[in-house]
Amino acid sequence: MRSKLFSRKLAFIVTLAYFAAGFLWITLSDLVVATLHLPETERTLVEIVKGDIFIALSSLAVYFVIHRLIRISNETSAQKHLARQDPLTHLLNRSGWTEASITALRRQERGEATVVLIDVSQLRYINGAFGMAAGDFILRYVADHIRHHLGPHDILGRNDASRFALFLPGNPEQDIERLFEDLSRTSHHPVQLGLHRFRFSFAMGISRAPRDATSILELLTLATIALDQAKLYPDRHLAYYNPTEAKNTLAALRLETDLGLALERHEFIVHFQPILSLPGLQLLSVESLVRWQHPALGLIPPDTFIRTAERIGLIHELGRFVLTESIRNLMRLQIPALVRPSLAINLSALQFAHRDLLQSIEDTLEETGFPPDRLSVEITESTFMNDPEQGRKILNRLHEMGISSALDDFGTGYSSLAYLQELPVQALKIDRSLIKPLPSQEPSRRIVRALIDLAHSLELRVIAEGIERREELEALENAGCDAVQGFLFSRPLPPSALSEWILNQNDNLEGSA
C-alpha cells in the first residue's frame, strides 16, 4: 500500500514539474520573442528553433528521470533480494523461504505438501573446535548436496544457524529417503579442511500437509518437534511428526532447557568411585563422575544428559566445571595427610577435540594448585575416530604436562588392539563385559589374562572396572591385574561419604575380603 502511494505521489510530482517547466518556457520565450519585433519570416524561424530546443530539453529531462527511476527500482529489487537471501549459502533465508513456501502451498490443488527440516548436528562444537570457517564450510557443503536433489518446484532455505528448511509439493517419501541416504553416506566420510579432518552428523524432521497442519508456520513448528524426536534415535536420525511421540519429545525438550540452566543454578555435583591396587587393595585414585541434582526429578545419572550436553554445546563448559569441582572437593577431604589419591576424569570425544582443552586443563591446575602428576584423563577409542593424528598430539602434550591417560572401556571396540600400539596412553581399563564371565568361563579367563600380559608387555597398567563379585576379584588378581574398581568395594560417593569411606577403608576391606 505504501509503495502504491509513493508511486502515485511521484507520478504527480513529475507531471506537475513537466507542466510548470513547459508553461514557463512557452510564456517566457514568447515574451522574449515579442520584444525583439522580428519580421514574420524570422519570427517563424525562431518559433521553430524554440520548439526544437524545448523538445530536446524535454527529451533529455525525461531520459534522466526514467533512468533514475529504473536505477531506484533496480536498487530496491536488489535490496529486497538481499533481504530474503542468506549471504553464506546464497539460499533463501528464513523469511524468504517462509514467504515463498506460503505462496507455493496456496497453489497446491489439494493442499498437499511436505516440510523437511535438516539440522547439521554439533555445528556449535565444530565452530568451537575448528573455527567458524569450518562450520561455514560444512553448511555450504551440506547445502550443495541438498541442491542436487531439488525438483523444479522445491524450495530450499536456511532456517537458522545450523538448520535448512525444504518445501516439497505433495508427499514424495521416496525423494526424502534418497536425500536422507545421500546425506548419510556423505556424513560417514571425514571432511578435509586444511590440516583438519572431521565428520558431521545430521537429523531430519518432517511434517506433512494437510494431515499434520494446513499452514507453513504450523508445519514448521511440527517439523521442529519431529526433528528433536529424530535426534533421540541412536541409529537413524529421521522422524515424521507423530502426536504421541511429540509428547515425549516435548518432555525431552524441557529437560534440555533445564540442562542449559543447570550450570547457572549450581545443580551439578560430583561423586567419586575409588580405584584400588592389586594386590593389597590400597587406595590409588578416585574416578570423578558427574551427577545432575534436578530440582524436580532428583538425581539424574550422566547417561541421561551427557549426549544432550554435547548436542547443545554445553559439554566443554560442563567438563571444566567437573574438573574444577572434583579437584576442590578432593583437596578439601578430611583424610590423613599420607593418603593422597589421584584423580581420574572422563573426556568425551567432543571435549577431547575442543581446541581449548589443553589450555583449560592447564588453567584449572594453576588456579587450584593441584599437581599434574595426580591427574589422569580417561578416553575411549571412539574419541580418536575423527582425527587419530591430532589425538596423539593431544595425549603427548598431556604427558609432557605430567598428566597420565588411560584408554577406557577396553574390549568393547572393534580395533582396540590396533590402538594399543598407536596411542601414547599409560593405562587401559578393561570393560565390565569382559569381567562378568570370568568366574564361570575358562575362555574368558584366558582372554583377560592374555590382554593383561599384552598390556604389561607394552608397559601399560591394567585397571578392571565394574567388579561386583569376589570371584571376579580373585580371577583378576590371579591374572596379574594392577587395579580394580566397582560396587564390590564402593559405589560412587559424594565427597562427604568418600571421606568417611577412606577413614574406614581398612575395616571395609576386611569385611569384603
Give the pLDDT of residue 259.
85
CATH value of 94-241 in 1.10.150.20, 3.20.20.140, 3.30.390.50, 3.30.70.270: 3.30.70.270
Each residue's pLDDT tens digit, 216-231: 988 998 898 888 888 8
Classify residue 353 as left (phi > 0), alpha (psi -120 to 50) or beta.
alpha
Q: Which residues contact 280 (CB under 8 A, 6 or more apart)?
A: none
Contact between 378 and 345 (Cβ < 8 Å): yes
pLDDT at 8: 65
Q: Is 367 helix (H, G, I), strand (E, B) or coil?
A: helix
> 417 falls in which pLDDT band (50, 70, 90)?
low
Give yes or no for residue 138 having a pLDDT over 60. Answer: yes
pLDDT at 418 over 70: no
| Residue-level pLDDT at 164 | 93
Backbone angles phi, psi at 169, to 5 degrees: -65, 140
Query: With 60 as the cut, is the pLDDT of residue 413 above it?
Result: no
Residue 321 to residue 270: CA distance in whole angstroms: 10
Looking at 295-419, which runs of residues are DSSP E strands? 298-300, 342-346, 375-379, 404-410
The CATH class that applies to domain 257-512 reads alpha beta
pLDDT of the residue at 442: 83
Quick one: cell of 190? 571425514
Please write the tens of the pLDDT for every residue from 54-112.
Answer: 777 777 777 777 767 667 655 555 555 546 788 888 889 988 999 999 999 988 878 89
pLDDT of residue 412: 66
List the grid coordinates of 65: 528521470
Q: pLDDT tens-digit profile of 459-481?
A: 899 999 989 999 999 989 988 99
For the chain, percent of residues with pLDDT exceeding 90: 25
Considering only CA atoms, which of 372, 431, 379 is closest in space to residue 405? 379
pLDDT at position 336 is: 75
Q: Which residues contact 488 (CB under 8 A, 6 or more apart)?
A: 467, 468, 469, 470, 472, 473, 512
Q: Is residue 152 scored above 80 in pLDDT?
A: yes
- What does the mean pLDDT of the chain come to? 82
Q: Is the pLDDT of residue 454 over 80?
A: yes
pLDDT above 90 for 508: no
Locate the domains of the chain by residue range.
2-83, 94-241, 257-512
pLDDT band at 482 (very low <50, low <70, confident <90, very high): very high
What is the longest distance spanned by two Cα atoms in the chain? 139
Residue pLDDT, tens place only, 80-90: 554 678 888 88
Helices 216-232 and 243-262, interaxial angle, to 10°?
70
